Amino acid sequence: TSQEGEQLVLKQETDTFMLTLNNEERDHQLLSHNSPVAESQDQEGSKDEDPESKSHCNTQTGKKSFKCDTCGKTFNFKSKLNVHLRIHTGEKPYPCNTCGKRFSDKSVLIRHMRIHTGESAHSCNTCGKRFYQKTHLQRHIRIHTGEKPYSCKTCGKAVRTSTGLFVHMRTHTGEKPYPCNTCGKKFRHSSVLNEHLKIHTGEKPYSCETCGKRFCTMTLLRRHIRSHTSEKPYSCKTCGKNFKWNAGLKLHMRTHTGEKL
């Protein structure tokens, strides 16, 4: 979905985000002032880097590495592994005191707070969304232009970002590295896991503007909204008939295949 695509863009931006030496002191002050809870948690997180932590040793370099037991990704420092693990657990311990949005990584919170301080220098001419790095704006613009420069060599599907392609490849490999600790169901990426977790917590943050009904995921809300509109996004490739829901299309396809209803 488009929401999942937006979240993948955010994750890609997170992976490429680096604090420069010139900005470290200012960012530390910004974080301390706006989110003292996040600052204290970050200081506690640094204590996790101890010599007794379980680790693997690279026999060629002699350097320790810390491996994620869930997806196998390795890190040079225990603290980085701890941050990564939040992708699997859905934990977001860093809140923005201005708008309440929560983050799993302190560096992403710092970047987010620049939206409130006015440091986002690059704005989208189409929707007005602001970005502090030009490359992030350029990536965002693809949402409006429809540009999809990354294509899957297996099926040919095109996507907007390299991260999106990486996640798409899991549809071919069957890899689902993000498990729900409550029911055991596994997912291809963290954004879908985070949406799924709301089913267990009972949280329903998405409401229909027409009837007020609330939903735990944006996907369910979008599906519900079609009951108020004439939108029929699912089309039969054989006869061209359109349907509001994918389930209806699948049922209809049996009339062409001869499969018993």
Read off the pLDDT of residues 47-71 as tens digits, 9 standing for 90 and up. Answer: 444 433 455 555 555 567 898 888 8
C-beta of residue 257 within 8 angstroms of C-beta of residue 235? no
Q: What is the mean pLDDT of the chain?
A: 76
Please, what are the domains in the chain?
67-134 (3.30.160.60), 232-261 (3.30.160)
Read off the pLDDT of residues 121-179 as tens digits, 9 standing for 90 and up. Answer: 688 898 888 777 788 888 889 988 989 999 999 999 999 888 889 889 999 999 998 89
Residue 180: predicted pLDDT: 92
Pick the residue with more confidence: 258 or 175?
175
Residue 42's pLDDT band (boundaries 50, 70, 90)? very low
Nearest to 127 by CA among 141, 113, 114, 139: 141
Residue 238: predicted pLDDT: 92
pTM: 0.45
